[in-house]
Amino acid sequence: MTTRKKITFKNAAGLKLAAVLEYPSGPVKYHALYAHCFSCGKDIITATRISRALARQGIAVFRFDFTGLGESEGDFDSTNFTSNVEDLLSAVAYLREHYQPPQLLIGHSLGGTAVLHAADKITESKAVVTIGSPATPEHILKHFAEELKELENNEAVPVTLGPTSFEIQQQFVEDVQARSTTEKISDLRKALLVFHSPIDAVVSIDEATRIFVAAKHPKSFITLDQADHLLSNAKDAEYVANTIAAWAARYTEDGTKQPQPVSQGQLMVDEGNHKFLREVISDDHRWLADEPKAMGGDNLGPDPYEQLLASLGTCTSMTLRMYANHKQWDIEDIRVELKHSREHQSDCEEPDDKSCKLDVIEKVITIEGDLDDQQLHRLLEVADRCPVHKTLMNDIRVETNINYKKG
């Protein structure tokens, strides 16, 4: 299961770009950036399928609409390859500030070419994946050969690529012609995985060969036999995602496997982002804590008070079950419902005094079984004697210290 969060960030020109972060339900291994194909969008089914499949394997995937596409601001007709690369770098800047910089860069079609051009400026990235990508951005002009003849006498000409119609301008042509990819690929200094189909009717597999030959090791080439350019078949997208996850594991750093100095009986809470997402780490387990969306969080885990109630509820249920089993009582199920509130004490002399507020936890226990009144009364007594209940009712001293590390 994954969580989809909509995000808006600004590019270098100050335009708002629409993005989606596909987040795993558990701890995040690392972040990836996905660049969609030319004139497509972040919500194209292939991008969605690959992102969700990667998220199910613990990889958070950030994808967005380039300027003028989908839900992003701007005029697509006025963009070019250079502006696409700049949009990618703006997305990386957003991830650096709010989450983690991407260790993995993925690009589909011309998005892969853009990733190859941006990779040297993304120092934190360790691996690059291209899917059906041309070796140079100039390849896109092959689809507009007849229309380009009209540019000699016009500032712009209408063109159609797939389901998208737009106007191509002379500045776009000049921009892609001025871009050389070969040097970028040979100086990549990152692991490279090239996917391509031999029957790709949009970008010839010869383009993949050019990318692969120009690259230095470590590099890998995988043929997507029977797949079309957009990976329309869900099985092809699933295969690509699974292969990426397995391949990238060799080059990326898995944040969930880093050793942590947590011994038995201790907990460590680490930041998942610079808002409310937190990863809770014990000696054997990891889980997430967050705030609901209404409070500015992403709702990727229970909030602190829900975790407090969970501690009391689980301890109560475990204690009751242990006691019932010891007594060999016939109980089919135990369910504990809890609610936290703050109530004003009736004997308080100053009604506005905040210290007069009393924290109240209401605990309702539903028991299914064959018990008499005396047994139920005994279980009620046992419920209030579970270890966590007694801890909450005792005088508690919390000692806080700060371990400062200069950044």
Give the dihedral sign, CA 164/170/175/178. Answer: positive
Given a contact cutoff of 8 angstroms between Cβ atoms, the answer to whether 371 and 331 are in contact is yes
Distance from C-alpha of 320 to C-alpha of 387, rounded to nearest angstrom = 12
Residues with Cβ within 8 Å of 316's Cβ and at least 6 positions away in sequence, in order, are: 336, 363, 365, 383, 386, 388, 389
pLDDT of residue 140: 80
Question: Residue 310: beta bridge partners?
Answer: none
Q: What is the largest CA-CA distance in the chain?
A: 97
Burial class (CB in 10 A: 0-12, 13-18, 19+), 182: middle
Cα three-residue angle 9-11-14, rounded to 5 degrees: 95
pLDDT attached to residue 356: 66
Q: Which two tokens stand for residue 150?
A: 């009209």
Q: What angle do CA 7, 8, 12 make, to 5 degrees?
A: 135
Q: Decide if 322 contacts 305 (C-beta within 8 A).
A: no
pLDDT of the residue at 351: 58
| pLDDT (0 to 100) of residue 117 | 94
CA angle, 404 then 406 then 407, to 5° = 130
Give the pLDDT of residue 146: 74
Owner of token pair 């808002």:
275
User: Which domains does the chain possess?
Assistant: 2-248 (3.40.50.1820), 302-393 (3.30.300.20)
Q: What local confidence, expressed as pLDDT, does residue 180 receive?
A: 76
Contacts of 165 (CB under 8 A, 6+ apart): 158, 159
Q: What is the DSSP string of 369-384?
A: E---HHHHHHHHHHHT
Closest CA to 112 of 95, 92, 127, 129: 129
Coil, strand, or helix at residue 30? strand
Report in angstroms the alpha-carbon separations of 405 from 98, 160, 261, 275, 402.
21, 56, 16, 20, 10
Prediction pTM value = 0.69
Query: Tokens representing 184?
Result: 């970028």
Q: Is 340 helix (H, G, I), strand (E, B) or coil?
A: strand
How far is Cα 45 from Cα 167, in angstroms, rounded to an integer? Answer: 25
Rounded distance, CA 47 to CA 54, Å? 11
Tens-binned pLDDT, residue by residue, of the chain (407 aa): 678 889 999 999 999 999 999 988 778 899 999 999 888 889 999 999 999 999 999 999 999 999 999 999 999 888 888 999 999 999 999 999 999 999 999 999 999 999 999 999 999 999 999 999 999 888 787 777 777 777 777 777 877 776 667 777 888 888 878 777 788 899 999 999 999 999 999 999 999 999 999 999 999 999 999 999 999 999 999 999 999 999 999 999 987 766 567 888 899 898 877 889 888 888 878 788 999 989 988 888 899 999 999 999 999 999 999 999 999 999 999 999 999 998 766 656 565 666 667 889 999 999 999 999 999 999 999 999 999 999 999 989 999 999 888 86
Of 120, 112, 50, the closest CA to residue 89 belongs to: 120
Distance CA 191, CA 111 (A): 17
Distance CA 228, CA 195 (A): 12
Cα dist from 103 to 40, 72, 248, 251, whole Å: 24, 25, 9, 9
Tokens linked to 344:
């004003």
**DSSP label at 76?**
G
Q: How far apart are CA 226 and CA 231, in angstroms?
A: 9
